[in-house]
Structure 1
Amino acid sequence: MRPRLVFVHGVGKPREAKTELEEWRAALTVGARAAGHSRKAAELLDGGAVDIHFAYYSDLFLPGAAPDNEAVAPAPAGPDEDEGLRELLLDMVDEHLETPRDDRQAQALRVTRNKLAPTGEEQGPGSLARQVLVGANALFAVPGLRTFGGWISAGAMKRDLHQVRRYLARKETDKAGLSLDRRIRARVATELDPEGPTVVVAHSLGTVVAFETLHAHSAHVPLFVTLGSPLGMRTAVRPRVRPQPVRTPEPVGRWLNFWDRDDFVTGGTELALCIASNGASVAPVSTRVDSDGLNVHPAVRYLAQPAVAGPLIEALDAVTVA
């Protein structure tokens, strides 16, 4: 039985799963070569030694994505949703304010925070929505974070972060009573090997989805890799993750978390400080990587890093040999 490698994507517009899988595989191959594993990468990723899957769920955020084509409309925008988005943005800003690049970035982050949560302003109709939009626009002026998520506008950023809020809100259900978050986790679960080992690589919102999915998984996961994860966000994400208290899923034998200081989506750098170990004493180990260029959040930027690809290829090789 071949070991399985499962990629789990993050937020964004609907994508072509097969194309995305090939892009992730190609980026991992680049990183593996840089890590000195050219031959192993060819054997494992191109030679058929590993069964590679891409867990796709973006389409479930669209209206009409429920079973039997039963229309399920996204949660309507309103005060609760605006407050949720503001909370998420404030979490991001506060995390980066703890370790700013320099005084200029710190000042820009403080300005952004004041726009998101102005003091003494009455919360009249539409004021929250305005604050979120103004604050999101202000983020694009933060030095070093100008295109942190690959977004071309504040509106595009709000659209993607809205997916995080919708998943964690767990309010949208289809006519059968299945919530959006359950249907997303079901998609991921079907890609995992129910009996043999599965190495899981998750990105962005996908790290939250994979984390929750693995808590209900029974087969061995020798390595869980999280890239650009928001799991450390202390207010907007971590308290809403299930199950609580937050701990490493029992099937996971090793957890490596990678973050880039210019990746605005990451919440906290050392997940082991806020996520407990499992029964086998496995806790997340965080490593910082640095990508060139402005847009560092995409999964392919992380996978092309030798620090990420090296241990991933080694883990796949070890499982194959075993």
Structure 2
Amino acid sequence: MATGKPQLLFVHGIGGLRHTATDRRRWLEALAAGARDAEMADAISALTQSWLADVTFADYSDLFDRRGAQGEAAGELDGQDVSFLVELLDSMLEELAEQFPLESSPQDARVIRDARFQLDAAIQGRQAQGAGDIGRRLVGVTTTMLRLPGVRQAAQWMNGWAVLSQLAQVGRYLDRRAGKAELGAAIRARVLGVLDPARPLVVVSHSLGTVVAYEALHEYEGAVSLWVTLGSPLALGAVVLDRLVPTPASCPARVASWLNFWDRDDIVVGRPYLADWIRPSRSGVKAVTERVDSRGLWTHTATKYLEHGTVARPVIEALRP
């Protein structure tokens, strides 16, 4: 049985280079706001002062930066990046179309239709174009998607290229080819290296971090009292689900409880089917999914999710003795 002071692990998602201490503080402040929203104000100091748990922000963003991924031009996407992004955008648009049908969301549906037209044109011209030309066409797709209300005027991603380049990180992590799989292994080692399997653990993961956490927790030998996934692309069809290791996808064996939260306006989360598409663990644990509705224009951030009382409450309860 795990004993000692609990560990709270934050696992970030796609994006640029992180500042570990700053992001740790921001995530904790958002979780504290969620505690206030849940009417658990007595837990705020215990969280922010690390009395309740030892809090670690697992930062692996620099591992992506080795290839210059943060500053390269659209024409420098390689063929594997392009192949993955075509599949990912196709899956995202398909699922967004289900979320925003023409009869109930005509303006959003028209944006999605325009993006679909651009993507289909890029796919049709793929044989005659190089990766750079396709990459520029895909920037047009993501630029159009930025017209959706959930991402319009977003402070984090200012243009279509930024969206595309950061979405490409998902494909780079999942690349299992010889000479490429080392990136994923290094990221998981970075996450697992900060943990003590002898102590209780709560994991809060976001975006690509939910994919990283899925594979890392399958390798982890300690007990995990709670795993929280926020804005997860795990159920984005074959483009992510079929690339996971191990497969077929199942809840990691050492996880005692798995809560998955999604926001309807989160562009990276198409639909909440994660609980249906990922098998339970041998002990019967599977994802329990709940929708949250965030305020503001950009919902695909961990802090937006953590500010909800419905997200913060189970985290705090899992950390308390």
Q: Which runs of 5+ in 1 are unaligned?
A: 66-75
Q: Please state if 1:136 is matched with 2:139.
A: no
Q: Please state if 1:110 is matched with 2:116.
A: no
CA distance, structure 1, for counterparts of residue 123 and residue 258 of structure 2: 44
Aligned to 1:217: 220
Question: TM-score normalized by structure 2?
Answer: 0.89
Q: 1:309 to 1:182 in 2, by over 3 A?
A: same
Q: Please state if 1:94 is matched with 2:94.
A: yes
Question: Is the 8 Å Cα contact of residues 12 and 206 (structure 2) preserved in structure 1?
Answer: yes
Deviates more, 1:138-147 or 1:193-202: 138-147
Could you tell me which amino acid in structure 2 is paired with residue 261 of structure 1? R
Deviates more, 1:125-134 or 1:203-212: 125-134
Aligned to 1:169: 175
CA distance, structure 2, for counterparts of residue 160 and residue 187 of structure 1: 20
Aligned to 2:184: 181
Question: Is the 8 Å Cα contact of residues 105 and 144 (structure 1) preserved in structure 2?
Answer: no
Aligned to 2:72: none
Q: 1:32 to 1:119 in 2, by over 3 A?
A: closer
1:55-93 CA distance string (max 9 Å, x none): 11000112279xxxxxxxxxx623332121121111111
CA distance, structure 1, for counterparts of residue 50 and residue 67 of structure 2: 39
CA distance, structure 2, for counterparts of residue 285 and residue 268 of structure 1: 14
SS at match of 2:198: coil
Match of 1:155 among 137, 156, 161: 161
Deviates more, 1:135-144 or 1:31-40: 135-144
SS at match of 2:254: coil
Aligned to 1:311: 314
Deviates more, 1:232-241 or 1:96-105: 96-105
Aligned to 1:79: 79
**Superposition deviation, residue 269 in structure 1:** 0.8
1:165-314 equivalences under 5 Å are: 165-171=171-177, 173=179, 179-314=182-317
Question: TM-score normalized by structure 1?
Answer: 0.89
Could you tell me which amino acid in structure 2 is paired with residue 155 of structure 1? W
Could you tell me which amino acid in structure 2 is paired with residue 305 of structure 1? H
1:30-62 CA distance string (max 9 Å, x none): 100110111123234425231111111000112
Could you tell me which amino acid in structure 2 is paired with residue 94 of structure 1? E
1:258-277 CA distance string (max 9 Å, x none): 11111101142131110000
Could you tell me which amino acid in structure 2 is paired with residue 165 of structure 1? G
SS at match of 1:118: helix
**Superposition deviation, residue 102 in structure 1:** 0.9
**Superposition deviation, residue 95 in structure 1:** 1.2
CA distance, structure 1, for counterparts of residue 178 and residue 12 of structure 2: 21
CA distance, structure 1, for counterparts of residue 83 and residue 166 of structure 2: 16
1:170-207 CA distance string (max 9 Å, x none): 34748xxx700000000000122221211000011000
The runs of at least 4 aligned residues of structure 1 exceeding 6 Å deviation read none
Could you tell me which amino acid in structure 1 is paired with residue 206 of structure 2? H
1:125-151 CA distance string (max 9 Å, x none): 235224312211211223444256831
Could you tell me which amino acid in structure 2 is paired with residue 189 of structure 1? L
Aligned to 2:32: 29
How many residues align? The count is 305
Q: Which runs of 5+ in 2 are unaligned?
A: 69-75
**Superposition deviation, residue 96 in structure 1:** 1.1
SS at match of 2:204: strand
Deviates more, 1:82-91 or 1:281-290: 82-91
**Superposition deviation, residue 99 in structure 1:** 1.7
